[in-house]
């Protein structure tokens, strides 16, 4: 049983972190993102217009458009336009990976030396389990990163709307 303790402890820790991340989203950020969905879409449309203007300016000045930079901006705009869909798919992926990881971890904890092929150099089930656990951890981390990114976008929107509402009105 001492051979299985490290893999079970690692699996439990990674599963706990991933589940807490998804629960954190469900309790706090889901409602906040739903409440601000229209503002996120408007911000995405504004950034899309700015991107089109930037591309037009670069082309009229004869400067080349950097494809990687352009793709990064397009991806960020797409995330703003589809915030709820982005996070729901990330949540589903995290749960599926947790299920696969749980099955592989249980198998690896009982068959530590089980090889997955007939060759001597084939990976063992425990080696595969470590890789799967790493993928689950990275997926949970990515999901958490996306949640905080959306939160920072919502904060930008609320700060911008507060600064607009605090401006003194012009008198006639």
Share of the chain above pLDDT 90, in %: 0
The answer to whether residue 51 is domain-embedded is yes
The answer to whether residue 73 is domain-embedded is yes
Q: What is the mean pLDDT of residues 59-81?
A: 84
The answer to whether residue 100 is domain-embedded is yes
Q: How many CB atoms lie within 10 A of CB 111?
A: 13
Q: What is the mean pLDDT of residues 60-81?
A: 84
The answer to whether residue 172 is domain-embedded is no
The answer to whether residue 169 is domain-embedded is no
pLDDT at 39 (0 to 100): 85
In sequence order, the β-bridge partners of residue 115 are 124
Whether pLDDT at 1 is above 50: no
Tokens 């999901």 — which residue? 143
pLDDT at 118 (0 to 100): 66
- Please name the residues in contact with 2: beta carbons below 8 A apart, sequence gap of 6 or more: none
Q: Range of 145's domain?
A: 5-163
Q: What is the mean pLDDT of residues 26-34?
A: 75
Total number of residues shown for the chain = 172
Closest CA to 26 of 144, 155, 139, 156: 144
The answer to whether residue 171 is domain-embedded is no
pLDDT at 62 (0 to 100): 85
Share of the chain above pLDDT 70, in %: 77
Residue 115's φ and ψ, nearest 5 degrees, are -90, 150
The answer to whether residue 155 is domain-embedded is yes
Average pLDDT in the chain = 77
- Tell me the pLDDT tens digit for each residue of 129-149: 788 888 887 887 788 888 888
How many domains does the chain fold into?
1
Whether pLDDT at 172 is above 60: no
Tell me, letter by letter, the H, E, C secondary structure of the chain: CCCCHHHHHHHHHHHHHHHHHHHHHHHHHHHHHHHCHHHHHHHHHHHHHHHHHHHHHHHHCCCCCCHHHHHHHHHHHHHHHCHHHHHHHHHHHHHHHHHHHHHHHHHHHHCCCCECCCCCCCCEHHHHHHHHHHHHHHHHHHHHHHHHHHHHHHHHHHHHHHHHHHCCCCCC
Q: What is the mean pLDDT of residues 69-86?
A: 84
The answer to whether residue 17 is domain-embedded is yes
pLDDT at 2 (0 to 100): 46
- Tell me the pLDDT tens digit for each residue of 107-122: 777 776 666 666 666 7
Whether pLDDT at 79 is above 80: yes
Whether pLDDT at 154 is above 60: yes
pLDDT at 91 (0 to 100): 78
């Amino acid at each position: 049983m001492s051979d299985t303790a490290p893999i079970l402890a690692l699996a439990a820790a990674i599963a706990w972190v991933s589940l807490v991340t998804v629960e954190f989203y469900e309790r706090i950020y889901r409602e906040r993102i739903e409440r601000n969905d229209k503002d996120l879409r408007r911000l995405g449309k504004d950034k899309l217009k700015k991107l089109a203007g930037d591309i037009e300016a670069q082309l009229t000045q004869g400067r080349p458009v950097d494809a990687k930079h352009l793709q990064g901006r397009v991806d960020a705009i797409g995330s703003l336009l589809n915030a709820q869909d982005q996070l729901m798919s990330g949540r589903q992926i995290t749960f599926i990976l947790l299920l696969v990881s749980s099955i592989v971890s249980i198998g690896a904890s009982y068959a530590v030396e089980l090889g997955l092929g007939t060759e001597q150099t084939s990976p063992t089930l425990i080696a595969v389990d470590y890789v799967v656990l790493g993928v689950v951890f990275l997926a949970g981390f990515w999901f958490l990163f996306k949640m905080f990114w959306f939160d920072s976008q919502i904060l930008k929107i609320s700060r911008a709307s507060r600064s607009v509402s605090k401006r003194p009105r012009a008198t006639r």
